[in-house]
Structure 1
Amino acid sequence: MSNHELLMIKNLYDLDHTEAKGLMEKFDYPWEVLPEIGSFIKKLGEKIDKTCPDEYIKRGDSVWIHKSAKVWDSVFFGDNVIIGADTEVRQCAFIRGNALVGKGCVVGNSTELKNVILFDNVQVPHYNYVGDSILGYKSHMGAGSITSNVKSDKTLVTVKGNDDLSDIHIETGLKKFGAMIGDHVEVGCNSVLNPGTVIGRNTNIYPLSPIRGFIPEKSIVKTGNVIITKNEE
């Protein structure tokens, strides 16, 4: 397997844990999905209207909330949002739009979502910002951790490798790109995932970490951005 293949959808995500499977199967890299999220949610919502309308509560023209979800009255919903079964959306969450939230997720108080796919059982439970990002199955962002989705100089985002993966250099053509987080990733409290971050499966990020570029699967990112593999600890 080449180093570039490590960043592909097939090596980051189990697509059986998202309603976006049909969309993501069309692409090689996960960030290629970002421009298509809104239109895909519209089509998925139309399918819900036709096949299982009794399972969802519809708000306006383009918000579908599963009847088993627990959603507080103070939550704001923009356009093109689907909330999956048994998900909890807590007080004052700001779901700006283009958000596909899977089953059994937790979207916390004052958490903001924008142009995202959250796989099943994802937790963003405390003061998180998640924009232009995809979070894999059972991934978790600790309190105050965020995805930064626009570079400070406003140039297009490039995905780069670290250390032994310096040959990875992929131009995405995107101005807005937060983080592609693989399955079973733990992001520590108050960490910042900079534009173009890609984190492999089963990785742990220490609290207060500034993350950039590609982090391979089964890694631990320690204080000072020291990256080790789990079997080396």
Structure 2
Amino acid sequence: MELTFIPAKGEQLWPLHQNTPCSQQLIAGTTLRNQQTQQASSVSHIEHASQIENAWISRADWEAFARQLSTSTACFVLKSADGDILAWAGDPSGPAVTASDDSFLILFPWQFIQVNEQIVSKLDQNNHSGDISPAAHIDGIVHLGKGSRILPGVVIEGNCVIGENCKIGPNCYLRGSTTIGDQCHIGQAVEIKNSIVGHGSSIGHLSYVGDSVIGNHVNFGAGTITSNLRHDGLNHRSTVKGSLIDTGRRKFGAIVGDGTHTGIHTAIYPGRKLGPNSSTRPNETVQRDLES
């Protein structure tokens, strides 16, 4: 399959992707665009299709779309369960095929967590190009890039993708479907759960990152904690253009823009967003979104 990506309009992905398209987001060791192209290219019966740049389409939905096309010479449009156009072959005004809930337009930054979960959770083969200490414990599938080291005492539960030239540990805990970019440092006694950590970022010792998206070149001071669960157990809401939006997530930590630095012992309320190049003081509590 050959894909043409159509530029997205109306994205509300602050504080991520201020100067780059949504398709460049780190997902499972590569970009969102590369992941989508790989999924689509494994499907037959479609010679050429167009896709909205900020649309995520699961492999199963690509396959269902292709089966529909193989039974007819008509042009078809793939729509999300909410009625948004995701992709089409031929005429974008053709009859619609409805996708599952696994395919959707990416309009908010927390949706990258859902995409990453879909891909990383389905990994079924290890790819170890770096060094893993015999004193580490791994219970899951791990992709480890060249030049990266997993130090003694590290525990990994579930699947994890770690980029090149990273230092993981000692004595840290990675779980859920977690992706870590290139040239990252995950320090002593850090826990990262079901999150994306961008290239060149450092999560200082004694920190916790849960259900979050961390940008590139972010530095978390020691003891920085993201909270990800409301006391009442309801879905988290996040402010977008002055309105509170239901994220659909019962567990949701923080969205942190590129170049952000936190002081030691920073506590971040759930669902908060920290703008690019923002900073916090030691012992600060982030109760509201921080602008740059």
Q: Is the 8 A contact 2:164 2:182 kept in 1?
A: yes
Deviations 1:32-54 (A, max 9, x none): 122332321245x56x87xxx57
Q: Is the 8 A contact 1:96 1:113 kept in 2?
A: yes
How far the C-alpha of 1:11 sits from its partner, in A, is 2.6
Asked if the contact 2:210/2:226 (under 8 Å) is kept, the reply is yes
Change in Cα spacing, 1:211 to 1:54, as seen in structure 2 (3 Å) is closer
Identity %: 24
Distance 1:145 1:54 in 2: 29
1:39 to 111, 118, 135: 118
For 1:1-233, list aligned pairs within 5 A: 5=12, 7=14, 9-11=16-18, 16=24, 18=26, 19-22=29-32, 25-26=54-55, 27-42=106-121, 45=123, 53=127, 55=129, 62-160=141-239, 167-216=242-291, 218=292
Kindly report structure 1 stretches of 4+ aligned residues shifted beyond 4 Å.
Answer: 12-17, 56-61
Greater RCO, 1 or 2 (C-alpha within 8 Å, sep 6+): 1
Query: CA separation in 1, counterparts of 2:286 and 2:20?
Result: 20
Q: Distance in 2 between matches of 1:169 and 1:107?
A: 32
> How does the TM-score come out when normalised to structure 1?
0.77
1:208 Cα offset (Å)? 1.2
CA distance in 1, matches of 2:25, 2:164: 13
Deviations 1:153-200 (A, max 9, x none): 222111137xxx6x2321212110100001000111101111111111
Change (3 A) 1:56 1:5: same
The answer to whether the 8 Å contact 2:16/2:215 transfers is no
Deviation at 1:81, TM superposition (A): 0.5
More displaced 10-residue stretch of structure 1: 65-74 or 107-116: 65-74
Tell me: CA distance 1:157–1:17, structure 2 relative to 1, closer, same or farther (3 Å): closer
Partner SS, residue 39 of structure 1: helix
Q: Quote the Cα distance in structure 2 between the aligned partners of 1:13 and 1:88.
A: 27
User: RMSD value over aligned CA atoms?
Assistant: 2.8
Work out the CA distance in 2 between the residues paired with 1:5 and 1:79: 31
Q: Name which one, 1 or 2, has greater alpha-carbon Rg.
A: 2
Cα pair distance change 1:126/1:115, threshold 3 Å: same
CA distance in 1 between partners of 2:209 and 2:145 (Å): 21
Residues 160 and 213 in structure 1, CA contact (< 8 A), matched pair in contact too: no
Structure 2 residue runs without a partner (length 5+): 1-10, 37-53, 56-105, 133-137
Other structure's SS at 1:38 match: helix
Residues 8 and 29, structure 1, Cα contact 8 Å, conserved in 2:
no
Change (3 A) 1:34 1:54: closer
* 1:183 partner letter: D
Distance of aligned partners of 1:201 and 1:113 in 2 relative to their CA distance in 1, 3 Å threshold: same
Is the 8 Å Cα contact of residues 204 and 223 (structure 2) preserved in structure 1? no
Judged with a 3 Å threshold, the aligned counterparts in structure 2 of structure 1 residues 115 and 61 are, in CA distance, closer, same or farther, namely closer
Alpha-carbon distance in structure 1 between the residues aligned to 2:191 and 2:218: 17
8 Å CA contact 1:38–1:80 kept in 2: the answer is no
| 1:6 positional shift | 6.3
Q: In the superposition, relative to structure 1, how do residues 60 and 126 fare at CA in structure 2: closer, same or farther (>3 Å)?
A: closer
CA distance in 1, matches of 2:162, 2:30: 13
CA distance in 1, matches of 2:187, 2:228: 20
Corresponding residue for 1:222?
none
Between the aligned partners of 2:168 and 2:260, the Cα distance in structure 1 is 21
